[in-house]
Amino acid sequence: MKHPSSPTMTKVTVTAPARLHLGFLDLNGGLGRKFGGIGLAISNPRTRLTIGFARRHEVVGLERERVQSHLETLQPSLGLDGSYRVDVEEAIPPHAGLGSGTQLALALAAGVRRLHGLPLDLRGDAARLRRGARSGAGVGLFEQGGLVLDSGHGARAGPAPVISRVPFPEHWRVLIVLDPARQGLHGTHEGEAFAALSPMSALSAATLCRLALMQLLPALVERDLPDFGAAVKEMQQLLGDHFAPMQGGSRFTSPHVGACLEALERAGAHGVGQSSWGPTGFAFAPSPAEADRLAALARRSAGDAGLDIRICTGLNEGAEISTRITADAPL
């Protein structure tokens, strides 16, 4: 499909939320499915890009190499022709445990499809762009936000399907602790780490699933933050111990983040943990005022460690895709 021969002035802007990965459910795989996980869409940080037709390909702003690579994959696979200008105005920090790669890939694919008048195909585009190899949460959160649980990978290819989605309470707050000096495992190193880990016991996998189904999800529905936080914490401890051999013997990729989370928990924060391979950590607060208090304490505790501590809300809607007509002809 080619873009119109007459000058077009359509531009598409896509804004996609970061996601917290609260934990896997089954790293044993004895029932024929593996991984499974819980993800939460959060308001900050986010990825935001604008795409329009152009006389020549041009990618400006952040994540230029990733965007160019994705375009080179999407155009032939979707049978598209033409050139684009892509402006990446905001980007989720890469390799921080916040789903940056999946959200960028899906945002670009959604923008290309809207520009050409094509229907969305999130699962198909995730597979084309090699996203969602272990977790289907990123695809589900791009589509609908909230807190989602995916079923893990079975015999079928493609991202794992989402089997539960619960809205996140509007008055709760999420504190995230980023360490810009570190990155979590990614790419081939992540695959090697999973291959090197000992299999999780069936009992541990069963405990994780029970915590998710019988405590975390019901507590979320009933707006019971202490019970929700207790489930998250126990899951995180079990998973952190499992992944510790690949994280320098610690539950946390960043010692500074780990120390900050300990201070937050002592001060009354709920559900502390690490998102994916980190280094980003998280904790929950019952109200905006309590989140402000905890964030101030965390910043004092972190001192000059260089941590970036933010207060976020949970997002109960998926990515925003908007189309506008500008006065500019293609560049």
Q: Which amino acid is at 216?
A: L
Q: Tell me the pTM.
A: 0.92
DSSP string, 288-300: HHHHHHHHHHHHH
Task: Evaluate if residue 156 carries a pLDDT over 90.
Answer: no
Return mean pLDDT, the chain.
Answer: 92
Q: What angle (nearest 5°) sits at the alpha carbon of residue 110, between those of residues 47 and 123?
A: 100
Q: What is the pLDDT of residues 105-148, one digit of tens each?
A: 999 999 999 999 999 999 999 999 998 777 889 999 999 999 99
State how far the Cα of 116 lies from the Cα of 2, in Å rounded to an integer: 8
Q: What is the pLDDT of residues 289-302, one digit of tens each?
A: 999 999 999 999 99
Mean pLDDT, residues 223-244 taken together? 97
Q: Is 273 helix (H, G, I), strand (E, B) or coil?
A: strand
Other Cβ atoms closer than 10 A to 19: 29
* DSSP tag of 135: -
CB 19 within 8 A of CB 138: yes
Domains of the chain: 1-168+316-331 (3.30.230.10), 169-313 (3.30.70.890)
pLDDT band for position 197 (cuts 50, 70, 90): confident
CB 12 within 8 A of CB 91: no
Comparing 17-26, 28-37, 130-139, the range with the smallest average pLDDT is 130-139
Burial class (CB in 10 A: 0-12, 13-18, 19+), 105: buried
Q: Is 115 helix (H, G, I), strand (E, B) or coil?
A: helix
